Amino acid sequence: MAFDPTCPSGICGSAPPPLIGSVLTGTGMTLAQAARALEQGRELTLTDVQRRLVQRWSEEQLGAPAAAR
């Protein structure tokens, strides 16, 4: 998902939610899958909000932050 300068928070009325259940919108990946992918150094197209959700999930579940890319 691309950055939208008219929506700096990443959560806007016309935009889909960043997460539905445990699946990241637009990626088809769960939080766990995305955290593993970032740890492996894979490049993921995530919004800032999604990236923060993945990093927080990783910190809470694994005790370490997912790689910031």
Which tokens is 54 given?
Answer: 């993945």
Residue 31 burial (CB count, 10 A) = 22
pLDDT for residue 69 = 42
Q: Where are the domains of the chain?
A: 19-62
* Model confidence pLDDT, tens digit, residues 47-57: 999 999 999 99
Which residues are CB-neighbours of 55 under 8 A, at least 6 positions away?
Answer: 65, 66, 68
Contact 45, 18 (CB under 8 A): no
pTM of the model: 0.69
pLDDT score of 66: 65
